[in-house]
Amino acid sequence: MPTIGWIQRGRRFLQLWFPRHFRYKRALHFMSAYETIFHPTDLDPAAANAFAHALRLAWSCQALLGVMHVGHSRKHAKWEAFPHVRPTLARWGFLKQRATLKDLKDAGVGVHKVELGQHPAARTVAAYISRKRPQLVVISTHRRRGLDRLLHASIAEEISRKAHATTLFVPRESDGFVRTETGEVTLKNILVPLKLGMAPLRAVEEAARIGRALRMERLLITLMHVGSHAGMPRVNPPCEHRWGVKRITVKGDVEAEILKAADALRADLIVMSTHGHDGFLDAIRGNTTERVLHGAACPVLAVPGTV
């Protein structure tokens, strides 16, 4: 058996002499569907839309869906008050009525439920994510701004920052791109704001990845840069045959222009790279991604700048 050291040396040799192969393998990774999806929830009925997004993605990808209750104590964990996986899939017409766990397994979907208990939510959930390393986290969030945001720090954002995971934030006030009652996917327009130094390639790859995960036949991906035309990163999303790509550049305040473009394009999803908080001011008011999140009417997919 070769040692790990020799395997790593062999990989570096192949990467040096066959770089095109390794770029192709990396592209295949991002084009593949999500295999593991994680959804922390407080079981609030207002968060049912985030659950619907997590479940619909898990069904489409034939993924393992992990659901964690992050309530204050076990006695408050009322799973029966929250939508269940099999009845929801049956209501959507994906499973028969009174489907069994075997039926769910035969469909290629796995479900794992976890009770958090009385622990600091953000830290414990982030540790769980870091340990299990799901490919996608889906979480419900509030649209808070200004003083309200400062006084009520978002656990959703804290979890995403601490866990350093690709996270889909679904605002409780938004229908998103999955209909809660029917499971219908309405994803048509994705806005991807780009900036040099902010992992633009990862953002466009994840935009394409979620489109493929949901098996979208038609999709428009708009690449946007706030600044000069010369500053627009030269990246191309790995698109399907009937997908479209549009590029726009504007000048002005980054947050305001992104929200304005999302509204004008009727974006169903915003995909952004993020590096977390860079300083004291960002820690108070949030980074660009978080400020967009609090103003956006649609879900936001936050992509870590590094893997």
pLDDT tens digit sequence for 222-235 = 999 999 988 899 89
In the chain, domain spans: 32-171, 189-304
Pairing of strands 36-41, 269-274: unpaired
Partners of 245 in the β-ladder: 221
CA 233 to centroid of chain Cα atoms = 22
Residue with more model confidence, 70 or 111: 111
Q: What is the pLDDT of residues 82-101, one digit of tens each?
A: 668 999 999 999 999 999 99
CA–CA dist 226, 10 (Å, integer): 42
Q: What are phi and psi of 229, to 5 degrees?
A: -60, -35
Q: Give the single-character DSSP code of 41.
A: E
Q: Do domains 32-171 and 189-304 have the same CATH topology?
A: yes
pLDDT confidence of residue 23: 44
- Identify the residue whose tokens are 């879900």: 299
What is the SS3 assignment for 170? Answer: strand
Three-state secondary structure call for residue 169: strand
pLDDT for the residue 186: 97
From the candidate CATH numbers 3.40.50.1000, 3.40.50.300, 3.40.50.720, 3.40.50.620, the one assigned to the domain spanning 32-171? 3.40.50.620
pLDDT digits (tens, 9 = 90+) for 134-191: 999 999 887 654 433 433 445 666 666 666 789 999 998 888 999 999 999 999 999 9
Query: How far apart, in whole angstroms, are the C-alpha atoms of residue 22 and residue 283?
Result: 37
Query: Is the separation of the CB atoms in 175 and 282 below 8 Å?
Result: no
Listed ranges 40-49, 286-295, 296-305; the one with the highest mean pLDDT: 296-305
Whole-structure pTM value: 0.80
pLDDT band at 72 (very low <50, low <70, confident <90, very high): low
Least confident among 72-81, 118-127, 243-252, 275-284: 275-284
Range picked from 107-121, 125-139, 247-261, 292-306 for highest mean pLDDT: 247-261
CATH: 3.40.190.10, 3.30.930.10, 3.30.70.1350, 3.40.50.620. Which one for 189-304?
Answer: 3.40.50.620
